[in-house]
Structures are given as structure tokens and as C-alpha cells.
Amino acid sequence: MRILFINNDGGGFADYVEVDPGTTVKQFFDQQVRTGKAINYLIRVNRQPVATDQVLQDGDRISVTPTKIEGAS
């Protein structure tokens, strides 16, 4: 099945990827974001925060974006 994946890591990505049916959000993250730690990201499916054990569906849109972007002087 096909998922739209948005990710800023590596070269950056905003395109469709093929995943196996039954793939969970955590499995997808582990496959696609190999070097990053999950705690440093907000993972949303169809623009909503999700549990890591949620099973992805065909046509879902998943985004992985950095969290706690903070500056100080």
C-alpha cells in the first residue's frame, strides 16, 4: 500500500512510499528514520498525533517533524 511520507531528515522527503499492510507507526518510523530518536520527533498521521502502535492504512499521510525547537540568548 502507498503512504505519503513527509520528513526533514537526510535529504528531506515528501513523497509516496510503499509499505507492507499491517505496518504500525513505530515500525514505519524505525524503517524510514534510521538514525533519529523517536523522542525528538512529533509523528502525525493525517495531521493528527497518533499512538505508535497505530496501524497505517493505504493513502495515509505521515509526517515526522522535530520537536522542542527552542532558542535562547
Contacts with another protein, residue ranges (CB under 8 A): 6-14, 33, 35-36, 40, 42, 44, 47, 49, 61, 63, 65-73
Of 26 and 61, the one with the shorter C-beta distance to another protein is 61
Output the smallest distance, CB 65 to another protein, in A: 5
Strand 61-66 versus strand 13-18 pairing type: unpaired
Output the smallest distance, CB 35 to another protein, in A: 6
Give residue 19's Cα distance to chain centre: 12
How far, in Å, are 37, 56, 64, 72 from residue 43 at the CA level? Answer: 12, 12, 5, 25
Nine-digit cell string for 58 = 493505504
Of 19 and 62, the one with the shorter C-beta distance to another protein is 62
